[in-house]
Amino acid sequence: MPLSSFPDSPLARAADQMLCAASPPTLVAHCHRTYRFGSAFLEGQRRAFDAEALFIASALHDLALTEAYDDPQTPFELHGARLAEQELHSRGARPDLVGLVRDAIALHMEITTADDPRPEVAAVHLGAAADVMGLRLDQLPPGLLTDVLELHPRQGFAAFVTDAVRRQAAAKPDSRIALLIRHAGFLDLIAAAPFED
């Protein structure tokens, strides 16, 4: 099935440029897949959503996993939310868009975010979980997974994200990611995802 193009607003382009400037190709592709999967889940549920907000949040949700933007103390999802908020404010984004993107990034590691009433917030969580752990892939339209992986190949993403979250957990032992590793088998879930990297 043909994939739609990404939102082409100035803010969406700026977010993608910020992502690409700081991130290795495997992380760029993950963020793009997060948007593809998240939007597909919402379309399958016939839920209206702000594609620009979803794309920006997807593009920036793991920005603080990069060397350029890592913070030695703040959990990556919270620091990334703050970075996105500051960047959008500096570009004159409307307050509701800023808040939506900030919350989608800040909450994407929370299990309950899948049920957030704001479609864009839920979709970043759902899209990322599909790509990292293979969750809900059976809910995607036939052929979409193959098309997305061809357009945005994984390029060793499982190894990259495993190393990244291990480093985050070691540096920030009280963070959400550290708790998920210790108590929810997060690394095992990554390893069990049905992808060939």
pLDDT digits (tens, 9 = 90+) for 83-125: 999 999 999 999 999 999 999 999 999 999 999 999 999 999 9
Give the SS3 label for residue 86.
helix
Q: To which residue do tokens 């032992």 refer?
A: 173
Q: Does residue 32 register a pLDDT over 80? A: yes
In CATH terms, the fold of domain 10-153 is: Hypothetical protein af1432 (1.10.3210)
Check whether 2 has a pLDDT greater than 80. no
Q: Residues with Cβ < 8 Å from 35, sequence gap 6 or more? A: 6, 54, 55, 58, 59, 127
Helix or strand or coil: residue 83? helix
| 8-state DSSP, 67 | T
Task: Say whether pTM exceeds 0.95.
Answer: yes
Domain ranges of the chain: 10-153
pLDDT at 3: 75
- Phi, psi dihedrals of residue 91, rounded to the nearest 5°: -100, 10
Q: Among candidates 160, 141, 155, which has minimal Cα distance to 36?
A: 141
